Structure 1
Amino acid sequence: MSFTLIDATTLNARQKELHNFHKIAARLADYGFHSMWLSDDWQGADFLACHIDGATVLRVQLKSRLVIDKKYLGKGLHIAFRLGERVFVYPHDELVEWVRARKLVDETATSWHVNGIWHWPALPKWASAFLEPSYELGTSAA
């Protein structure tokens, strides 16, 4: 048998979601986390990431981009997304507080006030100040 790389853009939505999960889980493994896919969202989480310290468990919602969503507020969720080969896992509520404190979204806009969601298909410059210092998962040297 020989292995052939796939073109992830040809996958259907469910296949893309699982592909992204495995890519993110592999990166989390480099940080001491074992990730478990949940067959049904549990308290808003798509998967759990359990750390080798035996105490840390992240409830993670998998996304395709940077997002804040009112339906996730107060649930203690982390959001994980990939941007090319870059991987980000951030605490949702901390980002919401950070964004609100800096008035980076118009809270009266329909997308937030009515729909309760903001998302960015490309990483805005301001997001680097929040994400890169603590929430971007770099690659392993091993």
Structure 2
Amino acid sequence: MRNHIWLMFALLCSALQAQPLPSVTSGRIERLADFASRYVDARHVDVWLPEGYTPAQRYQVLYMHDGQMLFDAATTWNKQAWGIDRTVSRLVQEGRIAPTIVVGIWNNGKFRYSEYFPQKHLQFLPVSVQSALTQAAMEGTARADNY
């Protein structure tokens, strides 16, 4: 009985940590879970393939930051999404852009600001501001050049 309780607890914890794939209005999402890099922490990468996607066709590719915010408000921390799947689909249908694949690179949460803040611009800030910014908002280290 005790083993069953531990197994159920482990499964519950696993289910709570798993992030569901976002729902999209057209096309489909493929996730590269915990995509590893030698420069930054591993993170998910969600790839949106447009409706009718075929590997035989060439596509434009749009790379976007904050990948967890791009598609489905039900899966975002603030219940808002950018709706990039709807926008790209509409622009393709209107003939304004060519068929496009969207690559959504997730931020890792804790280091988001330190990875996105332009690292070279820190040198133009007063030293006291540099110090305060790197300690308070960047978890002690600017990481943008790694990202």
TM-score range (shorter-chain normalised) is: 0.3 to 0.5
Q: Which has the higher contact order (CA 8 A, sep 6+)?
A: 2
Looking at CA atoms only, which structure, 1 or 2, has the larger radius of gyration? 2
- Choose between structure 1 and 2: higher strand proportion: 1
